[in-house]
Structure formats: C-alpha cells, structure tokens
Amino acid sequence: MNKKAMINLTIISCSLLLGCGGSGSKKTEQPSPTPIITTCAGQSLESGTSCITLENREAIVYKPSNTIEGIAVFLHGAPGSPKKVSKIFNAKSISDSEKLISVSPQGINEKWGWESVNDSANAKQADVDFIVNLLTKIRTDNNITTDKVYIFGYSAGGFMAYKLACQIPGHITAIVSLAGQYRGDFSACSTSTPVTVHHFHSPQDREVPIKGREVGEIKSVAETLAHWLLINGCSETFNTVKHPKVSSTSNGTETQTWEGCVKEVSFSALNNVPHEASYSAEVLKQIYQPIFN
C-alpha cells in the first residue's frame, strides 16, 4: 500500500472514531426541558397572579403594586371558573385602580356553582363560612387593616353575592351582581344591615330571566331590588342616567339609582345583551364606579 493510500485510510478511520478521540462514543443531545405551567382551579395562571389553597379549594389571587386598602372577591357562574369571572370584570384593573387585593375562589356545588339558595333553615352554609374564612386569611396574610370588601358575582356568582349580603352584611361594603339575582325565600333574609347594591341585567337574558323562574327558586330582579330598597331605607324616587353599551350587540345601558338610601341601590338595564356575552369590563366599571365612593 502506498503512502497516499495509507493517509486516506487514516483520515477515514479518525472520522469514524469521532475526531480520533479513541472512545468511539456518540454525543447525546439532551431533550429540551418541558415548560412548567402553573395552574389554579384547573386552569393556567396568568402573569402576575398566584394561587392559594384553603379548605381543599383553590383561589386565584392578584396583588396590586401599591398599598392594599381592601379586598375584591370575584364569584364565578355555573358552569364557570375563577379565571373566567376574573376576566369578565378585569380583576387586575380593579385591583390596581382601587388598591384592592383580588381573590377568585372555587364554589362547591357542581350544578349551581355555589350553595346560594336561601331557605328557612339556612342549612347549607358551607360557602358562606368558606368566604368568611377566606377573607380572614387574606387579611392576615397581607396585613390588611381596613374593612373594605367588594363582592363581584356573575350569574350563579350573583346568586351567591346576594346570599352573602343576607348572611354576612357586616363583612361586605358592596356587591355588584351581573345577571344573577336572589334565590330562595326572602323570609330567610331578615337582616336590617344595609349593603350597597348595583345590579346589572338584560331583559333579553334567557338563561337567567329578569322575571325570575321557579326552577332554582330564582326571584325576579324587581323583587330582589325591592327587598334591598327596604333594607337600605330608600325612597320610591329614583334618578335615571344613560350609559354606554356593555357589549357590541347592545343598544346602550339605562341605570336607575334610588334616592334617600342609607347605602346606594342601583339597577342597570342592559339593552339587547344575551346572558353569555363579551362584556366590556371597562364600561361595566364606569357604571358601577360609585360603589367605591
């Protein structure tokens, strides 16, 4: 074999040995790490939010960058989720502008979302007790000394907001209910403690009719408001203001606010808005803004 052939053979051999290192081993590529998705209440967490657990339930929490001056609680519908109701009202925006820590917890009733019916025995109090304990935990963990608590409920979450206004009015500053009224017997709500109320509802809502329905013991919006007008000591006189539309399909909003109330009661009629809609959180807030006064 001539010298040139031997040199070529040597080059080929070295290539097979991966650079003439002599080991003959191949370099193994490491797989890319699987991204970790943090979840809460069964859904992915958005940037800036966190998750807490209490009594085997999870709740999404968002803390404003400035000083915390109170708590905003967001109650989901059925079916629904803490993440969905947080988006409907834009919990982050409310937290930042009003200096409130927002918390969106899970309900325990698979069909109704929450144990929101009011009956003479008031036997099902698990959700009421849970919210009280949740408020205590949020205050303790974040050193909150104010008593400001705002309840935001959508659909079944609105049902639960009214139950809380009945059962623990001393813990609540105001409730905002979107498409969800009182459930059960008014005799089970004998409180005389006023709570600020702002109710949003559309006459075109078919899932939760503004006139109420027997299934689920859902009272009409008129009956619901009349109960709180009495509790809050309002007169029969009200002022009417026109507001922008809360969804692309709406023709506008008309808000009634009653006079002489110890705590304000308002009702916003959402013209031509279905139950499930792409609500404008910004417009909703523009309308209920007086609850923060």
pLDDT of the residue at 120: 82
Distance, CA of 235 to CA of 291 (rounded, Å) = 19
Q: Which residue in 134, 185, 178, 129 sits closest to 158, CA to CA?
A: 178
pLDDT of the residue at 5: 46
**How many residues in the chain?**
293
Beta strands 43-44 and 57-62 are unpaired
Asked whether the CA dihedral 142, 148, 152, 157 is positive or negative, the reply is positive
Q: Is residue 256's pLDDT more than 80? A: yes
Angle at 52 between CA 124 and CA 98, to 5 degrees: 90
Torsion-angle region of 113 (φ positive above 0: left; ψ -120 to 50: alpha; else: beta): left
- Residue 104 token pair: 């969106």
Structural domains of the chain, ranges and CATH numbers in brackets: 38-292 (3.40.50.1820)
CB-hemisphere CA count at 13 Å for 55? 14
Tell the residue number behind the tokens 């009733």, with chain if given: 109
Beta strands 100-105 and 70-75 are parallel
Q: Is residue 197's pLDDT more than 60? A: yes
**79: cis peptide before it, omega within 30°?**
yes
**pLDDT-derived band at 110, boundaries 50, 70, 90:** confident
138-153 residue pLDDT tens: 999 999 999 999 999 9
pTM of the model: 0.87
Distance, CA of 212 to CA of 171 (rounded, Å) = 27
